[in-house]
Amino acid sequence: MSVADTLYAVESEKSVAEFVEDFGAVVVANDFVIKNKSTMNMKETFAALGGEVPEDFDLHMIQVCKPNKADKSLAANPERAILMPKFVHVFNKQGKTQVRYLSQTSAHVAELVPGDSTFPESLMQTFGIIRWMIDQAR
């Protein structure tokens, strides 16, 4: 498995805040939810927990979920949970907004959750939708 198979790395002309807001709207429009709205801004989260980061630190770790798909999937096989958290990472690097999303290959999913023939294809569809939603928000 190569990095190119799993890492989606793109840049946006928008600010981190603008991308996060627009991504949130795209997520909701596609029946997904952001599960961690109150803690996705890592600067605020670190500060609330006593951590310190530079003033210009701007990183959002956005947990994306589709509850009406995840509920059925996990009820069918709770071993799938290891692959369920989906995070889109948005940060500022050298004045540019960067977006990163890490997925898996179908073969790796099959290895991680053996004997579950329907899960890899279903998860590949979700990975594709999340990448598409990132592109819509860019």
Which of the four pLDDT bands, split at 50, 70 and 90, describes residue 133?
very high
Torsion of CA 12, 17, 23, 28, to 10 degrees: -170
Determine the pLDDT at residue 3: 82
CA gap 40, 28 in Å, rounded: 16
CA gap 108, 48 in Å, rounded: 36
Domain region containing 59: 3-137
Nearest partner of 62 among 86, 30, 98, judged by Cα: 86
Contacts of 23 (CB under 8 A, 6+ apart): 62, 88, 90, 133, 134, 137
Q: What is the mean pLDDT of the chain?
A: 96
Number of domains present in the structure of the chain = 1
Q: Is the pLDDT of residue 108 over 80?
A: yes
Which of the four pLDDT bands, split at 50, 70 and 90, describes residue 1?
low
Q: Supply the CATH number for residue 131's domain.
A: 3.30.310.70
Is 59 within 8 Å of 43 (Cβ atoms)?
Answer: yes
Is 110 within 8 Å of 104 (Cβ atoms)?
Answer: no
Torsion of CA 72, 111, 126, 41, to 10 degrees: 100
